[in-house]
């Protein structure tokens, strides 16, 4: 005799809609844009539950802050499933979920804040981050002490492998013990059963190609490379006849920079308009000299770059790197090529007016060098001398020579004749 137990729709989640959203790799502004899109889709679809599958080593604090602010305004039940790791900014994001589950090999914590060069942040930033972690935990009914210990190495918790001097990192068992995890599951199927959602409709969100490209293009390293390529492309193009490969690479680099930031949601198309306007004014400056158009064009380009990001400090570093690379490239090209090719030959005067080519600025009197004569006026330092019955306007080397003194012509430069007084023997 067999008995069957029928589970209700409430116990299986039948008829419910669940959005599964991955949080992978580094936490940065591209991830923020992806999460904003997918959570808005879940809200618009009246989803019954959102599951964040987390595997991240952490990342940018500003992006984590923005993500946290976004999540706390969502009224849909949220679960963070830590598949491998939720470290640093990743643990901060996980704390905004109503429920946390962990894989048997997962970890969360180690949330000390560091700067871009790997050093500890200043006291002000450190204090802010500690309270942000603690408040996020407390808002969901979790003990703030353990969130503080994740961000503050001075808290002594040796029983959890975090004595003073080390940041707290929780495994599955210790996370359950301190109330930071509801349970340990091996995979999503087990998680859905734990949440009574095993029969729910599951919609898996994926990063689109455009979003993936935007995450790549907005990383600090790639931004520096793109701006450097843009600068190099411009300089090399100035040495090339016509508009060719270098200019195309430079222009493409700028387009990719702005495309990535626009897709990531950091800027609108108005920055592209400002960029195009700036480039047009710079080009016009070469044909309508005066300086004003060039200055306005450069300002427009720089402003458009900063309008495309909210991380002014990081962009400033990237611009300085690109500027250094561009200057080095320009110096190398100048030493190897000079200013005789490409665009420079149209804007740089290269023709010299020499005697050999028929140009004579004034009478050349080099034949007078070494000849002697008598001053007929005082030289103060300019005056007149006579030589071979010819009166000449001359100058001294800077001193005074009286009238009727013997002098020698020592140098001529066009009509300028320099003399020196002869000492009596």
β partners of residue 407:
373, 421
Whole-number percent of the chain with pLDDT over 90: 34
Residue 206 contacts by C-beta under 8 Å, 6 or more apart in sequence?
A: 22
Mean pLDDT computed over 95-104 = 95
Do 154 and 236 belong together in one domain?
Answer: no
Mean pLDDT computed over 8-26 = 81
Q: In the prediction, which pLDDT does 141 show?
A: 92
Helix (H, G, I), strand (E, B) or coil at 338: coil
Distances (CA, A) of 178 to 19, 97, 144: 28, 16, 10
Q: Which comes out higher in pLDDT, residue 278 or 373?
A: 373
**Roughly how many angstroms between the first and final C-alpha of the chain, as a whole number?**
146
Tens of pLDDT, residues 38-75: 999 999 999 999 999 999 998 888 888 989 999 999 99
Q: In the prediction, which pLDDT does 215 show?
A: 78
Do 53 and 198 belong together in one domain?
Answer: yes
Supply the range of the domain harboring residue 152. 13-207
Mean pLDDT computed over 76-99 = 94
Distance between CA atoms of 176 and 192, rounded to whole angstroms? 18
Do 242 and 306 belong together in one domain?
Answer: yes
The residue from 160, 184, 207 where one domain ends is 207
Question: For residue 119, what pLDDT band results from cuts at 50, 70 and 90?
Answer: low
Question: For residue 306, what pLDDT band results from cuts at 50, 70 and 90?
Answer: confident
Angle among Cα 277, 279, 281 to the nearest 5 degrees reads 70
Examine the pLDDT at 372 and tell me if it is beyond 50.
Answer: yes
Do 175 and 88 belong together in one domain?
Answer: yes
Q: In the prediction, which pLDDT does 240 show?
A: 60
Tens of pLDDT, residues 181-228: 999 999 999 999 999 998 889 999 988 888 788 778 877 788 888 888
Backbone angles phi, psi at 421, to 5 degrees: -70, 135
3-state SS, one letter per residue, for 16-85? CEEEEEEEECCECHHHHHHHHHHHHHHHHCCCCEEEEEEEECCECHHHHHHHHHHHCCCCCCEEEEEEEE
Do 186 and 285 belong together in one domain?
Answer: no
352 inside domain: no
Question: For residue 357, what pLDDT band results from cuts at 50, 70 and 90?
Answer: low
From the CB of residue 200, how many other CB atoms can be counted at a distance below 10 Å?
A: 20
CA proximity to 57, closest of 104, 93, 21:
93
Q: In the prediction, which pLDDT does 235 show?
A: 76
Q: Which comes out higher in pLDDT, residue 278 or 179?
A: 179
Do 305 and 370 belong together in one domain?
Answer: no
Q: In the prediction, which pLDDT does 344 show?
A: 47
Q: Which residues in 375-410 are b (16+ Cβ under 10 Å) and which e?
A: bebebeeebebebeeeebebbbeeeebeeeeebebe
- Picking from 29-33, 163-167, 176-180, which range would have the lowest pLDDT averaged per residue? 29-33
CA proximity to 102, closest of 183, 22, 24:
183
Q: Which comes out higher in pLDDT, residue 10 or 384?
A: 384
Do 200 and 272 belong together in one domain?
Answer: no
Q: Which comes out higher in pLDDT, residue 91 or 30?
A: 91
Distance between CA atoms of 61 and 391, rounded to whole angstroms? 85
- Picking from 26-40, 235-249, 285-299, which range would have the lowest pLDDT averaged per residue? 235-249
Q: In the prediction, which pLDDT does 365 show?
A: 76
Do 46 and 89 belong together in one domain?
Answer: yes
Do 131 and 220 belong together in one domain?
Answer: no
Examine the pLDDT at 99 and tell me if it is beyond 90.
Answer: yes
281 inside domain: yes
Report the chain's mean pLDDT, rounded to a whole number. Answer: 82
Mean pLDDT computed over 338-344 = 49
Do 237 and 130 belong together in one domain?
Answer: no
Examine the pLDDT at 3 and tell me if it is beyond 50.
Answer: no
Mean pLDDT computed over 342-367 = 55
Examine the pLDDT at 33 and tell me if it is beyond 80.
Answer: yes
- Picking from 16-25, 143-152, 308-317, which range would have the lowest pLDDT averaged per residue? 308-317
The residue from 207, 241, 264 where one domain ends is 207
Q: In the prediction, which pLDDT does 194 show?
A: 92
Examine the pLDDT at 98 and tell me if it is beyond 80.
Answer: yes
Contact 211, 34 (CB under 8 A): yes
Q: In the prediction, which pLDDT does 1 show?
A: 43
Contact 35, 67 (CB under 8 A): yes
Q: Which comes out higher in pLDDT, residue 139 or 413?
A: 139
Do 258 and 330 belong together in one domain?
Answer: yes
Contact 218, 138 (CB under 8 A): no
């Amino acid at each position: 005799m067999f008995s069957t137990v029928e589970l209700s729709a409430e116990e299986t989640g039948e008829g419910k809609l669940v959005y599964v959203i991955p949080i992978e790799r580094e936490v940065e502004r591209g991830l923020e844009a992806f999460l904003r899109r997918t959570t808005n889709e879940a809200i618009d679809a009246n989803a019954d539950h959102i599951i964040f599958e987390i595997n991240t080593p952490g990342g940018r604090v500003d992006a984590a802050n923005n993500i946290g602010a976004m999540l706390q305004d969502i009224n849909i039940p949220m679960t963070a499933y830590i598949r491998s790791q939720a470290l640093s900014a990743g643990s901060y994001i996980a704390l905004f979920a109503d429920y946390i589950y962990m894989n048997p090999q997962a970890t969360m914590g180690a949330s000390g804040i560091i700067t871009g060069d790997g050093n500890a942040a200043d006291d002000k930033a450190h204090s802010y981050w500690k309270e942000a972690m603690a408040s996020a935990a407390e808002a969901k009914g979790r003990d703030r002490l353990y969130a503080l210990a994740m961000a503050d190495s001075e808290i002594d918790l040796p029983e959890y492998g975090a004595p003073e001097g080390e940041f707290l990192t929780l495994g599955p068992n210790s996370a359950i013990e301190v109330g930071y995890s509801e349970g340990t599951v091996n995979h999503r199927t087990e998680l859905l059963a734990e949440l009574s959602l095993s029969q729910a409709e599951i919609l898996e969100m994926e990063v689109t190609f455009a979003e993936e490209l935007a995450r790549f293009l907005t990383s600090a390293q790639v931004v520096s490379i793109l701006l450097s390529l843009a600068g190099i492309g411009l300089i090399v193009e100035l040495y090339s006849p016509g508009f060719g490969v270098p200019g195309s690479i430079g222009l493409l680099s700028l387009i990719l920079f702005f495309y990535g930031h626009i897709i990531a949601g950091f800027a609108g198309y108005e920055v592209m308009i400002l960029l195009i306007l700036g480039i047009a004014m710079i080009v016009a400056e070469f044909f309508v000299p005066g300086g004003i158009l060039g200055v306005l064009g450069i300002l427009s380009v720089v402003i458009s770059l900063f309008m495309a990001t909210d991380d002014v400090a990081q962009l400033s570093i990237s611009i300085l790197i690109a500027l250094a690379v561009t200057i080095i490239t320009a110096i190398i090209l100048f030493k190897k090529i000079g200013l005789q090719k490409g665009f420079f030959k149209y804007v740089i005067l290269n023709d010299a007016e020499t005697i050999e080519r028929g140009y004579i600025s004034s009478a050349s009197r080099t034949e007078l060098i070494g000849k002697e004569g008598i001053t007929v006026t005082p030289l103060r330092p300019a005056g007149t001398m006579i030589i071979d019955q010819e009166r000449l306007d001359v100058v001294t080397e800077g001193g005074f020579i009286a009238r009727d003194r013997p002098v020698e012509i020592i140098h001529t430069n066009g009509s300028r004749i320099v003399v020196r007084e002869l000492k009596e023997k």
